[in-house]
Structure 1
Amino acid sequence: MKVYTSRGEVPVNEKWNLEDIYSDLTKWENDLQVVEEMAAKLKGFDGAIQDGKSLYEYLKQREELSYKFNHVYAYSMLRVDEDTRDANSQSLLERAKGLSVKVSASTSFFMPFLLGLEKETLNSYMLEEKGLKYFEEDLFESFRYKDHVLTKDQEEVLSQLGEALSAPSTTFGMINNADIKFGEITNDNNEKVQLTRGMYSKLIEDEDREKRREAYKAYYKPYVELKNSIASTLSAAIKNNVTLARIRKYPSALEKGLFGDMVPKEVYENLITATKENIAPLHRYSELRKQKLQLDELRQYDMSVPLVQGVKQVIPYEEAYETMMKALAPLGEEYITILREFKDARYIDVRETPGKRSGAYNLGIYGVHPFILLNHQDDLDSLFTLAHECGHGVHSKLSSQHQPQITARYSIFVAEVASTVNEVLLINYLLEHEGNSDVRKHLLNHFIDQFKGTFFTQVMFAEFEKITHKLAEKGTPLNVEIFNQTYEALFREYNGDVVVFDDEVKFGWSRIPHFYRPFYVYKYATGFAAAIHLATKILEGDNETLQAYLNFLRSGSCDYPLELLKKTGVDLTTPVPIENAMKKFGELVEEFSSL
């Protein structure tokens, strides 16, 4: 595989085309200016909205501002991500961030104003001004929060406390990203070197068990040493969340977390209960792992090593793209045409180059098209990442085409459905077209491990959040001991008795940044389960499900997430989708076992 030493070496057709947003910098500068003027104008509406006409005028101008501002911000962000070292791009992004502060300040008066209105007053405005029909759902959606919004003065105090309340998360981020120093490991030249995260993700999959053990111990070393500091930041984050839920009159912190997506707490509880009732195949997989690795004891540092060695495939980008299109053919001609356009019209930035942002993402820009960032490595993981991000990309494209700006963006709750459906169709295609039994085993192992990480691990995290928030609500002090006990008990329950515990296992809670964004991880698991259900039906040739799924991709956020999924035949208020996903996992483990 070619290693690129600069962006200039990458073929043009493998770089995204940012001229689709702005053909030159003058146009960006011009829009930046225009947004600034529009923000100043919006500020003038504070205290001046007296009737339907002025309310409509404000909302219309705010939407126009939002459209332009998104273009300004996205362009500067994408420029920086091409090369994070480039000072010119950094300066554009800094200016866009400064503009973002002005935009927020100019519209901050509106929510308290709106929630201060009586419903009758808002209804009379609606009758008075026909243009408000377009904003109606949004306006009345805001009213759902009325019981949880405080007086203007109290809201002002809370907003000023914002930075203090986010301090636990900021502190953990600093510890985890800036200050943490991992232990030492022995490199190939028999020298002691300090472990990095990048090295760890490779070493924990190494065939040499002693290397895995050494990396595991070195990785956990700082977390164990800093256990009291990290426990105090996590404890404070949980207590802050519980206190805010109380202040805002939510029945519990969990229900506060689910309120925005209008998800009843039964969905969260169903997910945990149905997973635990069907956990046997996961325990069976741990047994298989122990047998396959021929170990007397299976430990946590044995959980990530691939079980099939010597089958590393080289899959060049062109071939990966063709394979993906063949695998996704069951989604129909329109879907495949869009994918072809992604490649031909340069929506994708493919190659890893010095300074480029790591990882992968999709960014949909309303009025332009999606942009996809990859760091393609010509391997199996990169093929799956390509299919995953293109799932998000097509979702963005179809929602933007079929929805007005106000409902074009989809919620995080449904986002992972589109990406995971693609991954399930891809693994199915690869298994169907692979004759080599070692490669088949490798593919199955890859998908089982992914299923485990995206589903079971996230459900375990979700249960940890639920338990620790409940303890805080009862006034139980949260400390290292409580976190260790809770995490260890859950780890045992989910992974089975076959795993022999090193002391580090119980400190797993101390390294998870998602715990500082409470009640979020469960969405990975529900999205994954919904995708498994839909992909299975589509592969069975169920045309009704296929059409419903394509409509779902066109729907943006025109309804609440659970309702959008119900229209595809997935009802997450029942345990059925979770049970189906568990059944699928059981089948994968059985097939792997028989091979």
Structure 2
Amino acid sequence: MEKSKTLLKREDVSVDDTWDLEKIYKDEEEFQEEFQYLKEIYTGLGDFKGTLKDPHNLLEYFKLDERVSRLAEKLYVYSNMKNHEDMNNGKYINIKKQVEIFLPEISSLTSFFVPELLSMDDNYLEECMKVPELQKYKFELEDILKMKPHTLSESEERILATLSESLNAPEEAFSLLTNADMTFPKVKDENGEEVDFNEARYSNFIKSKDRAVRKEAFETLFNTYKQFKNTLATTLTASINNFNISAKLRHFSSPLEASLKPNNIDVKVYDNTIDTVNKNLHLLHRYVDIKKRLLGLDEIHMYDLYVPLIDTPKEHIEFNDGVELVEKALAPLGEEYLSIFKEGINNRWIDKYDNEGKRQGAYSWGSYDTDPYVLLNYNYDINDVSTLAHEMGHSIHSYYSRKNQDYIYSDYTLFCAEVASTTNEILFIKYMIDNEKDENKRLYLVNTMIEGIRTTVFRQTMFAEFEKITHNILNEGTPLNADGLCEIWLDLNKKYFGETMVVDEEISMEWARIPHFYSDFYVYQYATGYSCANSFANNILQGGEDELEKYKGFLKAGGSDYPLEILRKAGVDISTPKPIEDTMKNFEMLLDILETAIK
């Protein structure tokens, strides 16, 4: 399909360029029939309340819960994906809302389940294992029961549940302020014309080749945030305090343990990530120096970080040509993997192009009983091809997991979620670097990979370090205001970027625009995920059949064990410094290539 100058209406898009959701429901009538059936059967879950002491009743509960959950998940996925095809289509807005309004009723009806299990005697699990059909639920039951020391009484849990909306208020206030209420002054574009400015446009302005443009955008963005610094400090510290208080009430030794323990991750993994990256900050300092020289600057400022180093003509890559590139890059994953990739391409897993009203961005989604679909907004450049590799990594991970695990273990954790997709992305860019004959294009790809490590490993680890510092200060009962947050952020930037970088005062407000800080101790997983993916990519490219089978074992494992154990069995131990150290070695090798270009 040639790139169109105007967006097509959804009904005018070629069927071959869309995902095939009729495999889920052929029409709305079939959807509504299954929705009605769900409403009829879900009420039976409430009948098990007070009966779970009998393991046979627990088994029957699990069976009905699976039927209800699978059907609810399929309805939810379908209604959302239909809505994403054209978000202005009232018909699919309506069915999406129908499902979203109904799902909390299921959650409310099953809210007794975990508290009732946790009220059982210590020998309950042993009694359950005497029922042969319950043995497949052993890991699930162990996972629930291990949280018994951190579960409050029924009345206390009810109080916290009642307060949930209030406890989420800081994040809601942050979102409303930064997305709706905050307005920015106009800025001048590269033609010297005054234009509207916001967060979305900032990402383009900060990459401008015109230094005056990116400097003005940088100062405008952060000086606007500065006007609200006391409000934003209050929302963030309130959010952190809410999490810290919950951790204390639930008898965790620290807020960090409260975040990591549900996935059985030792706090040493978090600390090891920060420590290992800190030991390699000299490499980031070196990159700053190389960038300064390549850009020909007397001084390098924070607003110079995102400007591309290498100019290359914008390539137009047709979708089928992009598919061919990805196939070649993923060839080391073997014929079986490629056959699944081709199945996705040929059997319409992918919604390829933009159209009027279509949801922007890209994702992989589906349910246990559907294909692992991919939404793209393919725009014919190299980044879109990389996105295809990335999202198909998610989808093939889901494919393997659902084919090899029972429903209860078919979902993988967030800790593992980005590993398979990033492995594909790394394999793709390495293939492109190794096979690019044009030296300028090759250097562009090298710098793209460098920037991936800088923003995903170094930057997210700096975020993680900020979270640890701020949570600890507040957890000790020490107040923290806007000036304190700014000072911590400024000091971290100075440490991470080194003496060559002029760390502009405006950057001290950057903490105020990071929404992930309202999801406590989440961002470190970007750094660990990239490092695990780097290790897998190296193992696949340098190893043999054994390394490939271990990797496929990771893809097949789903949520059948804790994430660190799944990764360890596949040959990557993120509890040690090695995966991050190997990523740092790769970063250094890429710097060597880039630096050679300026000598």
TM-score range with shorter-chain normalisation?
over 0.9
Alignment CA distance shift 1:316-1:58 (3 Å): same
Out of 277, 281, 289, the position equivalent to 1:279 is: 281
Give the counterpart letter for 1:370 in structure 2.
P
From 172, 192, 195, the counterpart of 2:194: 192
Match in the other structure for 2:12: 9
Is the contact between residue 387 and residue 423 of structure 1 (CA under 8 Å) also seen in structure 2? yes
Alignment of 1:400-479 (within 5 A): 400-479=402-481
Q: Which runs of 5+ in 2 are unaligned?
A: none
Deviation at 1:183?
2.2
Residues in 2 aligned to 1:294 and 1:187: alpha-carbon distance in whole angstroms: 22
Corresponding position of 2:518: 516
Partner of 2:77: 74
Q: Percent identity at matched positions? A: 38
Preserved contact between residue 490 and residue 505 of structure 2 (Cα < 8 Å): no
Alpha-carbon distance between aligned partners in 1 of 2:52 and 2:423, rounded to the nearest angstrom:
46
CA distance in 1, matches of 2:217, 2:128: 64
Unaligned runs of 5+ in 1: none
| Partner in structure 1 of residue 299 of structure 2 | 297
Q: Per the alignment, in what secondary structure is the counterpart of residue 372 of structure 1?
A: strand
1:116 aligns with 2:129: no
Pick from 30, 53, 71: which aligns with 1:27? Answer: 30
Q: Please state whether the residue corresponding to 2:116 is helix, strand or coil.
A: helix
**1:10 Cα deviation after fit:** 2.5
Aligned to 1:51: 54
Taking the aligned partners of 2:190 and 2:591, their CA distance within structure 1 comes to 35
Does the Cα contact within 8 Å between 1:444 and 1:588 map onto a contact in 2? yes
Which string of whole-angstrom CA distances, capped at 9 and with x for unpartnered residues, describes residues 156-212 of structure 1? 111001111111111111112111212211246644222033322112111111111
Task: Select which of 350, 353, 373 maps to 2:352.
Answer: 350
Following superposition, the deviation at residue 271 of structure 1 comes to: 0.6
Q: 2: CA distance between counterparts of 1:137 and 1:310?
A: 52
Q: Which amino acid counterpart does residue 588 of structure 1 have in structure 2?
A: L
**Pairwise CA RMSD:** 1.3
- Aligned-partner Cα distance in 2 for 1:427–1:244: 43
Contact 1:364 1:397 in 2 (8 A): no
Q: Mean Cα displacement is larger for which, 195-204 or 15-24?
A: 195-204
Q: What is the deviation of 1:502?
A: 2.2
In the alignment, residue 394 of structure 2 is paired with which amino acid?
H
Which residue is equivalent to 2:324? 322
* Corresponding residue of 1:151: 153
Q: What is the SS of the residue equivalent to 2:535?
A: helix
Secondary structure of residue in 1 paired with 2:427:
helix
- Deviation, structure 1 residue 50: 4.5
Q: Which of the residues 263, 268, 271 maps onto 2:270?
A: 268
SS in 2 for 1:571: coil
1:44 is paired with a residue of what secondary structure? helix
* Structure 2 residue aligned with 1:385: 387
Of the three residues 545, 548, 553, the one matched with 1:546 is 548
Q: Is the 8 A contact 1:39 1:102 kept in 2?
A: no
The answer (yes or no) to whether the contact 1:36–1:102 under 8 Å persists in 2 is no
Alpha-carbon distance between aligned partners in 2 of 1:483 and 1:188, rounded to the nearest angstrom = 34
1:467-490 superposed Cα distances (whole Å, 9 cap, x missing partner): 000101111101111111111111
* 1:306 is aligned to 2:322: no
Could you tell me whether the CA contact under 8 Å between 1:311 and 1:442 is conserved in 2? no
Secondary structure class of the residue paired with 2:251: coil
User: Would the aligned equivalents of 1:227 and 1:480 in 2 still touch at CA under 8 Å?
Assistant: yes
- SS of 1:362's partner is strand
**SS where residue 263 of structure 2 aligns?**
coil
Distance (whole Å) between structure 2 residues aligned to residue 423 and residue 53 of structure 1: 46
Map of 1:105 onto structure 2: 108
Secondary structure of 2:365's aligned partner:
strand
Is 1:570 aligned to residue 564 of structure 2?
Answer: no
Q: Number of residue pairs matched?
A: 594
Structure-1 residue corresponding to 2:162: 160
CA distance in structure 2 between the partners assigned to 1:63 and 1:538 by the alignment: 36
* CA displacement at 1:136 relative to structure 2: 2.2
Q: Hey, what's the Cα distance between the residues in 2 that align with 1:466 and 1:311?
A: 43
CA distance in 2, matches of 1:353, 1:340: 24
Partner Cα distance (2:302, 2:315) in 1: 26
Asked if the contact 2:189/2:213 (under 8 Å) is kept, the reply is no
Within a 5 Å distance, the mapping from 1:237-252 to structure 2 comes to: 237-252=239-254
Q: What's the offset of the Cα at 1:534?
A: 1.3
Secondary structure at 2:300 match in 1: coil
In 2, the alpha carbon distance for the partners of 1:329 and 1:277 equals 35
SS, match of residue 557 in structure 1? coil
SS in 2 for 1:464: helix
Confirm whether residue 90 of structure 1 aligns to residue 96 of structure 2.
Answer: no
Corresponding letter in the other structure for 1:228:
N
- Between stretches 162-171 and 499-508, larger displacement belongs to 499-508
- Equivalents in 1 of 2:542, 2:132: separation in Å? 46
Cα deviations across residues 375-419 of structure 1 (Å, max 9, x unaligned)? Answer: 111111111111111110100001011111011111110111101
Structure 1 residue 539: Cα displacement: 1.2
Question: Contact 2:319–2:378 (CA<8 Å) still a contact in 1?
Answer: yes
Q: Match for residue 587 of structure 2?
A: 585
TM-score where L is the length of structure 1: 0.98
Q: Cα deviations across residues 36-61 of structure 1 (Å, max 9, x unaligned)? A: 12221211222243412222111110
| Cα contact 1:458–1:522 (8 A) shared by 2 | yes
Shift of 1:153: 0.6
Provide the C-alpha distance between the structure 1 equivalents of 2:374 and 2:26, rounded to a whole number of angstroms.
19
Please, which of 40, 43, 65 is the counterpart of residue 37 of structure 1? 40
Question: Among residues 340, 364, 367, which one is paired with 2:366 in the alignment?
Answer: 364
Tell me by how many angstroms 1:297 deviates.
1.2
Matching residue of 1:204: 206
The reply on whether 1:525 has 2:527 as its aligned counterpart is yes
- Residue 222 of structure 1 deviates from its aligned partner by 2.3
Q: Is the 8 A contact 1:387 1:426 kept in 2?
A: yes
Pick from 53, 62, 65: which aligns with 2:68?
65
CA–CA distance in structure 1, aligned partners of residues 27 and 570 of structure 2: 43
Give a deviation string over 1:108-138, Cα, whole Å, max 9, x none: 11111110111224432442x3322222221
- The TM-score, its normalising length taken from structure 2, stands at 0.97
Alignment partner of 1:170 is 2:172: yes
Report if aligned partners of 1:182, 1:221 keep a CA contact under 8 Å in 2: no
1:217 is the counterpart of 2:219 = yes
Shift of 1:549: 0.3
